[in-house]
Amino acid sequence: MANKKYLIVGAGGFIGGHIVKKLLDEGNTIIAADIKPKKLWFQNFNDVQSYDEIDMKEYNNCLKTTNDVDYVINMACNMGGMGFIENNKTECMLSVLINTNLLRASLKNKVKKYFFSSTACVYNIQKQEESFIKGLKEEDAYPAMPEDGYGWEKLFSERMCRHFMEDFGLEVRIARYHNVYGPMGTYAGGREKVPAALCRKIAKAIIDKKSEIEIWGDGEQTRSFLFIDDCVEGTLRLFNSNHSEPTNIGSDEQVSINQMTDIIEKISGAKNLKRNYLIDKPKGVRGRSSNNENAIKALNWQYKISLKEGLTKTYNWIYSELKKDSGNYNKFCHS
């Protein structure tokens, strides 16, 4: 699907920036939009058609920006790691305006296909009360009991996409992401997710010659984590497919936070770091992992990069950023 015109909303964010790069490499025309000032975008590209610093919660902005584009990829939302989404539920839920108004504008401007970035936070929390659970299947989102705030917004927006397809014929694709990580993303400032946070904490301990790091919770909560390159590949395969059901884009390599900390410590060469467990900090569900059966069958997609390989790339990038004297630190503290 090269040589098409794409609007990427949330292009200044982590996944959005990587998708812009991939689509540009394939020869497409890109309009890049984000509410953040361009100086805070994680990646900037000279060959996009336009950069729009714009609030897509407003319908008129959506109408203007979707005019004369073939495809819309909506990566925009107000979110971050567990510390952010548990303490900013209203801000997370207001992202429903972005998706709703983009759908309305896409229909009016005859956009050919629309992509919505959902999340594993839509899954029923009662199915995630133990460590090392079986991978969550797409049907496990119902009966509905997602994570409060962010999870509810994403699940509602999935339904909105579905009904725009059923009622109006707008082609939609929906990915449920499972903890995407990698270079060129947030690693500090409160919005970072656990792989980046742990890489930063261990790298800072080495740089500052400290002997202790903080872990939120008891470290026995489990997750699976997907490297950004695999995420982009899975996203575009889903977008280019005929598969219109919400689909997991994740890994089934489930680890505890303690196990992941072990892996990063070995990558870094750190020895004998004491772990200070902060039990009162937000921890999220006890266990979560992705079942990829639908992605394998419908998309012929499976993740390729192991957690160790991905964490090595991520740790080395974060360590190098922390060692720099430039102003990059502030840039990568925002989402």
In this model, does residue 335 exceed pLDDT 50? no
pTM (2 d.p.): 0.94
At residue 331, the pLDDT reads: 61
Average pLDDT of the segment spanning 208-217: 94
Q: Of 27-36, 127-136, 320-329, give the lowest mean pLDDT range.
A: 320-329
Residues contacting 303, CB < 8 A, separation 6+: 226, 227, 230, 234, 250, 251, 253, 292
What's the pLDDT score for residue 83?
A: 75
Cβ density class 43-71: b for 16+ within 10 Å, e for less: eeeeebeebbeeebbeeebbbebbeebbb
pLDDT in tens, 253-268: 999 999 999 999 999 9
150 is catalytic: yes
Residue with tokens 């990063």: 264
What's the mean pLDDT in 118-127?
97
In this predicted structure, the answer to whether residue 52 has a pLDDT above a threshold of 80 is yes
Whole-number average pLDDT of the chain:
94
Q: Which residues contact 5 (CB under 8 A, 6 or more apart)?
A: 28, 29, 30, 31, 49, 68, 69, 70, 71
Q: Is the pLDDT of residue 327 over 60?
A: no
φ, ψ for residue 213, nearest 5 deg: -130, 160
More confident residue, 95 or 329: 95
% of the chain beyond a pLDDT of 70: 96
Residue 88: the pLDDT is: 84
Q: Catalytic: which of 123, 150, 303, 319?
A: 150
Task: Tell me the mean pLDDT in the region 182-204.
Answer: 93
Domains identified in the chain and CATH numbers: 5-178+227-249 (3.40.50.720), 181-223+254-288+304-331 (3.90.25.10)
pLDDT one-digit tens code per residue, 255-312: 999 999 999 999 999 988 999 999 998 888 999 999 999 999 999 999 999 999 999 9
pLDDT in tens, 73-99: 999 988 777 778 788 889 889 999 999
